[in-house]
Amino acid sequence: MSVRVRVPAKVNVQLAVGGARPDGFHDLANVFLAVGLYDEITVTPADELRVACSGPYAAQVPLDRTNLAARAALTLAQRRGLDPAVHIHIAKDIPVAGGMAGGSADGAGALLACDALWGTGASREELLEICAELGSDVPFSLVGGAALGIGRGEKLTALEVGGTFHWVFAMAEGGLSTPAVFREFDRMAQGREVPEPVASAELLEALAEGDADALAAAVSNDLQPAALSLFPELAQTLEAGREAGALAELVSGSGPTTAFLARDAEAAEKVAEALRASGTCRAVRVAAGPVAGATVL
**Nearest residue to 284 via CA among 263, 260, 266:** 260
Distance in Å, CB of 18 to ligand C5P, minimum:
9
- DSSP code of residue 60: G
Task: Identify whether the C-beta of residue 130 lies closer than 8 Å to the C-beta of residue 76.
Answer: yes
137 binding ligand C5P? (CB under 6 A): yes
Pick the binder of ligand C5P from 5, 13, 15, 28 (CB under 6 A): 28
197 binding ligand C5P? (CB under 6 A): no
Largest Cα–Cα distance of the chain, in whole Å? Answer: 57
Peptide linkage before 256 cis (omega within 30 of 0):
yes
16 binding ligand C5P? (CB under 6 A): no
103 a known binding residue? Answer: yes
Identify the active-site residue in 39, 106, 115, 137.
137
Please confirm, yes or no, whether 137 is among the known catalytic residues. yes
Pick the binder of ligand C5P from 135, 139, 241, 290 (CB under 6 A): 135
- Cβ proximity to ligand C5P: between 241 and 293 the closer is 293
Please confirm, yes or no, whether 10 is among the known catalytic residues. yes
Pick the binder of ligand C5P from 136, 252, 258, 280 (CB under 6 A): 136
Distance in Å, CB of 28 to ligand C5P, minimum:
5
Task: Identify whether the C-beta of residue 16 lies closer than 8 Å to the C-beta of residue 223.
Answer: no
Distance in Å, CB of 181 to ligand C5P, minimum:
8
Give the Cα-Cα-Cα angle 144, 146, 152 (nearest 5 degrees): 85
Torsion (CA) 150, 154, 155, 158 in degrees, nearest 10: 90
Task: Identify whether the C-beta of residue 141 lies closer than 8 Å to the C-beta of residue 8.
Answer: yes
d(CA 124, CA 110): 15
10 binding ligand C5P? (CB under 6 A): no
Pick the binder of ligand C5P from 6, 26, 166, 285 (CB under 6 A): 26
42 binding ligand C5P? (CB under 6 A): no
Strands 283-289, 155-158: pairing kind:
unpaired
The catalytic residues are 10, 137
Binding site for ligand C5P (CB under 6 A): 25-26, 28, 135-137, 152-153, 178-179, 182
